[in-house]
Structure 1
Amino acid sequence: MNGLRVAALMLATMTTGLVAGVYAIYANAFMPGLATTDDRTFVGAFQAVDRAILNPLFLGLGFLGALVFTLLAGVLSVGEKALPWIAVAFVLYLVTMILTIRVNVPLNDALKAAGDPGSIDVAAARAAFDEAKWRTYNLVRTLLTLVSFGLLGWALYLTGRSAVQP
């Protein structure tokens, strides 16, 4: 059971870190870079990246996997010193999922539904997208996921420490 608990906690930590990294890349490179482009480039590039990220590796292993592995790690850590840290990490990550589904995904979907950048009013599509709102909520997702990652790292440390103490 201890090996499964540690494995689940390691997977929770790694997948949460992966998602935090993806959100951070959007916050620190992708969106600031796109902000400097013309409307047609912005709409086309964002649509292409949003389509590409909807893949089993990111959605299944990363985005959903982080939640599932954290939940599993918590269930397997009942009665352990690491449980409160895992529980808070789970709640914070769950909040990021809710924000993603309620804010970022609808904005992404609306931009994709606007149509081909070669045949639409790209300035209107970009304005309707509301970059400031998307970036603000992405920054919140980034920070919460990063804190969740840190809490899971601490839980992993506590788990390892308790394994070597009598």
Structure 2
Amino acid sequence: MTTVFLLITAVLTALIAGLFYAYSCSVVLGLGKLSDSEYLKSMQSINREILNPVFFLSFMGTAILLPVTTFLFRGDQPAFIFLLLASAAYLIGVFGVTIAGNVPLNDMLDKFDITGSTADVVKQMRDSFENRWNLLNNVRTVFSVISIALVASACIWSKHLQQ
């Protein structure tokens, strides 16, 4: 049973790492080429659409399964240490950054009336949103890749998978 938890945790962690990686190396680059109002409208749309069951399952599932799986592997060294570090990296660098950084920015943008604002106000909103959001997303990307690398290491060195 612990092996099943580890494999599901690995898949969910990889899915989230892939999501943030794809944003960092393609989505934000493409969005960056848009005009100010096109950019803000696109981000509003993306931020609304990502709030769906598939995203929540992988994002929240990883936040729950990493600590649970870590607990289940507490007697399996070095897998336990890898999972403990993966949990810390994910909960602080991915989940924490998302909740404390990206979500407030998304909420601010969601409330912004693009069509009712002047071009200068739209530019100011983009300037206050884009670079900060992209930086936070890059932080999430790095920490999610660290998390999946650590979970993969736990899979490789787990006594449960070697039996």
Query: TM-score w.r.t. structure 1 length?
Result: 0.89
- The 8 Å contact of residues 12 and 67 in structure 1, kept in 2 or not, is answered as no
**Contact residue 47 and residue 106 of structure 2 kept, 8 A:** yes
User: Distance in 2 between the 1:126 and 1:94 partners?
Assistant: 28
Q: Could you say what secondary structure the match of 1:91 adopts?
A: helix
Pick from 51, 54, 77 the counterpart of residue 73 of structure 2.
77
Gaps of 5+ in 2: none
Q: What percent identity do the matched residue pairs reach?
A: 29
Instruction: Give me the whole-angstrom Cα distance separating, in 2, the residues matched to 1:40 and 1:33.
Output: 14
Q: CA contact under 8 A between 1:12 and 1:66: conserved in structure 2?
A: yes
DSSP-derived class of the 2:145 partner = helix
Equivalent-residue separation in structure 1 for 2:64 and 2:4 (angstroms): 13
Could you say what the CA RMSD is over the residues aligned between the two structures, in angstroms? 1.4
Query: Which residue in 2 is equivalent to 1:45?
Result: 42
- Which residue number corresponds to residue 146 of structure 1? 145
Q: Which residue of 2 aligns with 1:99?
A: 97
| Cα deviation 1:121-151 (Å, max 9, x = unaligned) | 322321232x111111111110111011011
Q: What CA distance in whole angstroms lies between the structure 2 residues aligned with 1:9 and 1:149?
A: 11
The letter for the 1-side match of 2:65 is F
Q: In structure 2, give the amino acid aligned to 1:124.
A: Q
Aligned length: 158
Classify the secondary structure of the residue corresponding to 1:103: helix
Which whole-Å CA distance do the structure 2 matches of 1:72 and 1:162 have between them? Answer: 17
Specify the alignment match of 1:127 in structure 2.
127
Q: In structure 2, what is the Cα distance between the partners aligned to 1:26 and 1:136? A: 12
- Whole-Å Cα distance in 2 between the matches of residues 75 and 98 of structure 1? 20
Q: What are the ranges of 5 or more consecutive residues in structure 1 without an aligned counterpart?
A: none
- For 2:151, the aligned partner's letter is L
Tell me if the contact between 2:6 and 2:69 (Cα under 8 Å) persists in the aligned partners: yes
